[in-house]
Amino acid sequence: MNKPNILEAENWIDIWHHYYNAEIELEKSDPNAICISSVDTNGMPNSRYVLLKDVTERGFTFYTNLTSQKSIELFQNGKGAMTWWSRAQNKSVRVQGTVDQVNDAVANAYWDSRKEDAKISALISKQSKEVENREQLEEEFAKAKLEYAGKNIPRPAHWSGIIICPLRIEFWESTSEYTSRLHNRIVFELKNDLWQKKRLYP
Ligand SMILES: Cc1cc2nc3c(=O)[nH]c(=O)nc-3n(C[C@H](O)[C@H](O)[C@H](O)COP(=O)(O)O)c2cc1C
């Protein structure tokens, strides 16, 4: 009997979990690294990696400084894109969508789960501003660490979770006949609140 093919699933999230659960076993170093793309007011695209922290039917959540370039561009446009690649499985997921923010309770819960040093570095970061040198950065970090020793470190209001809420998701996977390049490309598109699924030529 043939093994059921996950690409036959009717819900994109089932395929995502299938890909990602396998990835956690195979890739020990940042299996959740995703590339986030935004566009500035001149139409210049901009991409960078972040760590994906949650995936639900609503979308893909990562955490960042809300004064960062990515945050400004994503909220200015109300649109963004995400790409995930698995070297181990030779698969990729590509998402385009609208942009939303998690509520304070969700942001606080994730903040509380972070290690103290990660909290301190988020707290002192003057996101993407020029810093004199490495020593300056380390001095500010040490000062804040001392200041907050044994105290609760509050989540800065400018640090939260951004959700890429998908409108289009593509699952790409190479097949065992790699040399033929007959790869699988399955796309889900949200039309009138309903997900439509189709296959593309590779
Ligand atoms: C593997 C990896 C994971 C990263 N994870 C995050 C993250 O979760 N959140 C974040 O704000 N920056 C993260 N960064 C740093 C960003 O790539 C980026 O340098 C920073 O957020 C500033 O981006 P921006 O100026 O385009 O907003 C990560 C970098 C790498 C290489």
Q: Which domains, ranges and CATH numbers included, belong to the chain?
A: 6-114+157-199 (2.30.110.10)
pLDDT of residue 127: 86
Please state, in angstroms and rounded to a whole number, the distance separating the CA atoms of residues 202 and 189.
17
Distance 89 CA to ligand 1 centre (A): 24
- Reference 114, options 155, 143, 144; nearest CA is 155
* Range name among 1-10, 23-32, 48-57 with the lowest pLDDT average: 1-10
| Whether residue 64 has its Cβ less than 6 Å from ligand 1 | yes
Pairing of strands 91-101, 79-86: antiparallel
Task: Categorize the per-residue pLDDT at 182 as very low, low, confident or very high, splitting at 50, 70 and 90.
Answer: confident
- φ/ψ (deg, to 5) at 176: -65, -25
Distance 4 CA to ligand 1 centre (A): 37
pLDDT of residue 175: 82
Stretch 106-117: mean pLDDT, rounded?
96
**Top mutation candidate among 49, 85, 130 for ligand 1, by most atoms within 8 Å of CB:** 49
pLDDT of residue 178: 62
Please state, in angstroms and rounded to a whole number, the distance separating the CA atoms of residues 171 and 199.
10
Residue whose tokens read 């995703």: 34
**Top mutation candidate among 35, 50, 73, 127 for ligand 1, by most atoms within 8 Å of CB:** 50
Atom 10 of ligand 1, residue of closest alpha carbon = 64
Interior angle at CA 39, CA 37 and CA 44, nearest 5: 115
Query: 155: helix, coil or strand?
Result: coil
In the predicted structure, residue 1 carries a pLDDT above the cut 60: no
Residues listed for the chain: 202
pLDDT of residue 73: 98
Stretch 88-113: mean pLDDT, rounded?
97
pLDDT of residue 190: 98
Query: 23: helix, coil or strand?
Result: helix
- Reference 58, options 157, 165, 190; nearest CA is 165
- 11, 15, 16, 21: CA torsion to nearest 10: 140
Residues of the chain above pLDDT 90, percent: 89
Atom 3 of ligand 1, residue of closest alpha carbon = 50
Distance 48 CA to ligand 1 centre (A): 6
pTM score, two decimals? 0.94
What integer best gives the mean pLDDT of the chain? 94
| Whether residue 118 has its Cβ less than 6 Å from ligand 1 | no
Task: Categorize the per-residue pLDDT at 160 as very low, low, confident or very high, splitting at 50, 70 and 90.
Answer: very high
**Top mutation candidate among 40, 48, 158 for ligand 1, by most atoms within 8 Å of CB:** 48
- 117, 71, 193, 4: CA torsion to nearest 10: -50
